[in-house]
Structure 1
Amino acid sequence: MKWFDNTALTIVIIGAVNWLLVGIFRFDLVAFLFGNLTWLSRIIYALVGLCGLYLISMYGRIQSMES
């Protein structure tokens, strides 16, 4: 399961960098590479969101490791 955590974290970091570019430069890298709201870009946005939701579970796992 550790590989899945690492993969999800990598995808979320890539998504965070995309949001940084949007916030600072108004440049959406996903839309630039894959088109503005094409089916492929929507899949990428959904994948980033799902990985972010999955990583919420890390809070519980981190606290259980500290105990």
Structure 2
Amino acid sequence: MRAIHRIALVLVIIGAINWGLIGFFRYDLISSILGGETTAISRVIYALVGLSGLICLPLLFEPAKDVEVDRNVRGYGNVNYGTEFGEEADFTDIKNYSAKDPEEKK
């Protein structure tokens, strides 16, 4: 994205925030900071925001660019469920508690 598009996008975001404040709270941030809606500097800011919207309009119709993603595929086929420091557990000494006789559980 060129520098002019970035600047225009920042101004469009500022304008969107200002319109959101007007819509939700009836508060015009630009006019309150710059001394009113009819001052010359406020009108310049409003005009720049409007021009920025026109500059950003072609960005809406640009095709999406393919982004290369660097993936680590070395470990996908090699699944290791063991722990790093321990050995595999030996479950041969565990008694079968599914027996029906309660005396066998002891």
Is TM (by shorter chain) over 0.5?
Answer: yes
Map 1:32-47; keep pairs closer than 5 Å. 32-36=32-36, 37-47=38-48
State the structure with more CA Rg: 2
Q: Distance in 1 between matches of 2:49 and 2:23?
A: 17
Deviations for 1:5-62, whole angstroms, at most 9, x for unmatched residues? 11110110011000000001100001101122200000000000000011111134x2
- Opposite residue 38 of structure 1, the aligned amino acid is T
- Structure 2: gaps (5+ residues): 67-106
**SS of structure 1 residue aligned to 2:63:** helix
Q: Which has the higher helix share?
A: 1
- Structure 1: gaps (5+ residues): none
TM-score between both structures, scaled by the size of structure 1: 0.85
Q: Distance in 1 between matches of 2:2 and 2:55?
A: 13
Aligned identity (percent) is: 45
Root-mean-square deviation over aligned CA pairs = 1.7
TM-score between both structures, scaled by the size of structure 2: 0.56
Structure 1 segments of 4+ aligned residues over 2 angstroms from their partners? 63-66
Aligned length: 65
- Match for residue 26 of structure 1? 26
- Match for residue 56 of structure 2? 55
